[in-house]
Amino acid sequence: MPVAIHDPRPAARCPRPALRLLLALALGLALATPASAKIAVFTDGRILKVEDAYLDGDRIVLDLAEGGRLVVPAIRIDRVVADEVEEQPEPVETVACVAAWADEPLPDWVPFRASIHAAAKGANLNPWLLAALVQAESAFDPRAVSRAGAKGLTQLMPAAAADHRVEDVFDPDDNLRGGASHLRLMLDRFSSLPVALAAYNAGAATVERYDGVPPYRETRGYVRRILSAFCPGHDETPTPPPKG
């Protein structure tokens, strides 16, 4: 059962009065909500509006908005995101908490905590940040598979898995290493945690197209959930899930 977490450690780099990595199941699955259209982001930077995108073997089938179908190798697609924008998007603010490595152990109840800690250290990431990303991506399910083909704890697309030489996306250690390396790549590229998270979710080309966090509701909600878990208080402190 999800519970609220109160961090007993003294404040150091940034205030973290209540780290809530296990969000309500409904929030954890919010990214899976169907939308009327999607954006397919190609690894070469192209962006294509589609009605649907789904994995079929080692290919991704794109149902085109104007009709017809395009079938491409899965490694050509960076990300697929719901094409639903916030009508009046609020800014996603930069946070004070530092994304870089800090030797801050995760609670015993966090699934795969030792593997998350090791992967975070290898990629120079704070383990609490990586744990928050895993919660948002897969709710700690190592067998999670999205319709578009993202797999495992960090929901690696085939292209990212290949880029980071992940041999088995369903192996927690291998997947976490790849996901942590991909987030580090986005951080080094964009030098902003909110923007790097947006690129992880919606693709680097989408972030470059909008010169920051894109207006897509899915992506902005994703960024806010991770930042609220990793660095609560920067925007709004999430409420504990109901008991029962």
Q: What amino acid is encoded at 229 in this protein? A: A
Residue with tokens 């993202």: 150
Q: Which amino acids are annotated catalytic?
A: 137
Distances (CA, A) of 128 to 120, 178, 220, 241: 9, 17, 20, 19
SS3 at position 86: coil
Sign of the four-CA dihedral 168, 174, 179, 182: negative
**Shortest CA distance to 136 belongs to which of 219, 207, 217, 79?**
219
Whether residue 146 contacts residue 32, with contact meaning beta carbons closer than 8 Å, is answered with yes
